[in-house]
Amino acid sequence: MICIIMLGVLIVKELYIFVPGFLGAITMYILTRNIYFRLVEKKKWKPTWTAIMFIEYGIPISTSCSRTLAWLGGVTRISEVTAPAIKRF
On whether residue 23 sits in a domain, the answer given is no
Q: To 5 degrees, how large is the angle CA 51–CA 57–CA 59?
A: 95
On whether residue 63 sits in a domain, the answer given is yes
> Residue 81 and residue 71: Cα distance in Å, rounded?
16
On whether residue 70 sits in a domain, the answer given is yes
- The model's pLDDT over 8-40, given as tens digits with 9 standing for 90+, comes to 889 888 888 888 888 888 988 898 899 889 999
Task: Mark 25-55 as b/e (b = at least 16 C-beta within 10 Å).
Answer: eeebeeeeeeebeebeeeeeeeeeebeeebe
Q: Three-class SS of residue 1?
A: coil
On whether residue 57 sits in a domain, the answer given is yes
Q: Please provide the average confidence, as pLDDT, over all residues in the chain.
A: 83
How many domains does the chain divide into?
1
On whether residue 34 sits in a domain, the answer given is no
> Residue 33 and residue 40: Cα distance in Å, rounded?
11
Position 86 scores a pLDDT of 66
Provide the pLDDT confidence category of residue 76 given band limits of 50, 70 and 90.
Answer: low
| Structural domain that includes position 59 | 46-89
